[in-house]
Amino acid sequence: MAISGLPLSYCSNVHPGRTVADVNSGLSQFAAEARSLCGFPVAAGLWLGSSVAEELCSSEAALESLAQTLWQHDLSCFTLNTFPFGDFHGDRVKEQVYLPDWASHSRLRYTQQCAEILSKLLPPGAEGSLSTVPLGGLMNPQTGNFRALCYANLIQMARFLKSLHDSTGRLIRLGLEPEPFCELSGTRTHSLPVMRGLYEQADALGCESLVREYIGLCFDVCHQAVEFEDAAQSIRDFVAAGVRINKVHITNALVLERPAENPSGRDFLCSFAEPRYLHQTFARFGDGSVQSRVDLLQEDLRRDPADHFLQADEWRVHFHVPIFAEVLGPLKTTRAELAAALQQVACLDYAPHLEVETYTWPVMPGESGTSPESLGQRISRELESAADLLAAAE
pLDDT of residue 1: 37
Domains defined for the chain, CATH in brackets? 8-253+333-393 (3.20.20.150), 254-319 (no CATH)
pLDDT of residue 4: 64
Chain length of the chain:
394
Q: Which residues contact 165 (CB under 8 A, 6 or more apart)?
A: 171, 172
Mean pLDDT of the chain: 96
Write out pLDDT tens, residues 110-127.
999 999 999 999 988 889
Q: What percent of the chain has pLDDT over 70?
A: 97
Task: Quickly state the pLDDT bin for 394 (edges 50, 70, 90).
Answer: confident
Q: What percent of the chain has pLDDT over 90?
A: 94
pLDDT of residue 153: 98
Amino acid at 343: Q
CA-based torsion, 235, 239, 242, 246: positive or negative: positive
The C-alpha R_g of the chain, in whole angstroms, comes to: 20
Q: Tell me how far apart the alpha carbons of residues 190 and 217 are, in angstroms, rounded to a whole number.
A: 13
User: How much is the average pLDDT of 71-82?
Assistant: 97
pTM of the model: 0.97
Is the pLDDT confidence value at 258 over 80? yes
Write out pLDDT tens, residues 123-150.
888 899 999 999 999 999 998 999 999 9
Task: Quickly state the pLDDT bin for 152 (edges 50, 70, 90).
Answer: very high
> 312: burial class by Cβ within 10 Å (0-12, 13-18, 19+)?
buried
Is the pLDDT confidence value at 5 over 80? no
Task: Quickly state the pLDDT bin for 367 (edges 50, 70, 90).
Answer: low
Is the pLDDT confidence value at 3 over 80? no
Other CB atoms within a 10 A radius of the CB of residue 372 amount to 5
pLDDT of residue 371: 67
DSSP 120-186: HHSPTT--EEEEE-SS-BTTS---TTHHHHHHHHHHHHHHHHHHHHHHHS--EEEEE---TTBSS-S
Is the pLDDT confidence value at 372 over 80? no
Q: Tell me how far apart the alpha carbons of residues 253 and 228 are, in angstroms, rounded to a whole number.
A: 11
152: closest CA among 104, 97, 89? 104
Write out pLDDT tens, residues 228-255.
999 999 999 999 999 999 999 999 999 9
